Amino acid sequence: VVNAPGSRDWAGRANRLAADALAQDDPTGWFERLYADADSGAVSMPWDRVGPRDLLNEWTLRTGPPEPGDQRAIVVGCSLGEDAEHLARLGFDTVAFDIAPTAIRLARDRHPDTAVQYEVADVLSPPAGWRRAFDLVVEIHTVQALPDPPRPEAIANIADLVAPGGTLLVVAARRADDDPEPDGPPWPLTRTEIESFAAAGLAIGVIEAVTDPVDASHRRWLAEFVRASS
Ligand SMILES: C[S@@+](CC[C@H](N)C(=O)[O-])C[C@H]1O[C@@H](n2cnc3c(N)ncnc32)[C@H](O)[C@@H]1O
């Protein structure tokens, strides 16, 4: 929840839409409804910001720009496109996708001169051509928005996007293995879950437990996985 409480606050609408969708066994059905409500002005825009997530920005400052050549990146659950635009500015040939058509339309509208290829796609059934196709895969806060099931399937599919020699960066809310799982989204990931990104042939690079220096209740994983070059 990032917005001040109020009748136009998207977070309250998200809670209601998510509860309805989950009751109907449709765990991804609420994202498009939320973006459409925001687009009509009924609520504020969810996950709205200017510029990349801080943890992605810091990570790319540490790792530096991509090697010259065709380095392909993909952003999972890209929302309005700020992280994808950041990677494209750094020099990655970037694809970004979201399940919500309205989010993808808004991302394209917000970045009319973009080099990013924005696509409507579901991480639970990604296009076959994306398999092992990306040198950098960025997953921030999408998996935690899905219940279990289908969370493990989403984790396996994301890992499968990583090309030989490529890297997966995951940022997710964090909970202890013995903390109770919340009833509704977001579902912070346990260490066991974050480690499960390595199950599809990836090796764990780093798994860092990050706590926000200003608000200690904001606990995150920042994790890096790599696939050996073939
Ligand atoms: C919590 S938001 C995070 C957005 C963005 N990654 C960020 O860090 O601000 C989750 C995003 O994932 C998208 N999403 C949810 N389920 C998805 C799925 N199955 N496939 C692709 N995108 C999905 C939602 O529409 C939403 O834009």
Q: What is the mean pLDDT of each run of 10 residues along the chain (230 residues)?
A: 62 96 96 98 97 97 90 98 98 98 98 98 98 98 97 98 97 94 94 93 96 90 95
Ligand 1 residue neighbourhood (C-beta within 6 Å): 28, 31, 47, 53, 77, 79, 98-100, 103, 122-124, 140-142, 145-146
Query: What pLDDT shows up at residue 1?
Result: 40
Inter-helix orientation angle 10-23/29-39, to 10°: 150
Output the pLDDT for position 200: 78
Looking at residue 230, its pLDDT comes to 78
Partnered with residue 3 across adjacent β-strands are none
Q: CA 190 from chain center: how many Å?
A: 17
Nearest 5°: CA angle at 16, between 13 and 22? 135
Looking at ligand 1, which atom is closest to the CA of residue 49? 9
Strands (E) in the chain, as ranges, are 72-76, 93-98, 117-120, 134-140, 162-173, 203-211, 219-226
Quote the ligand 1 centre to 4 CA distance (angstroms): 21
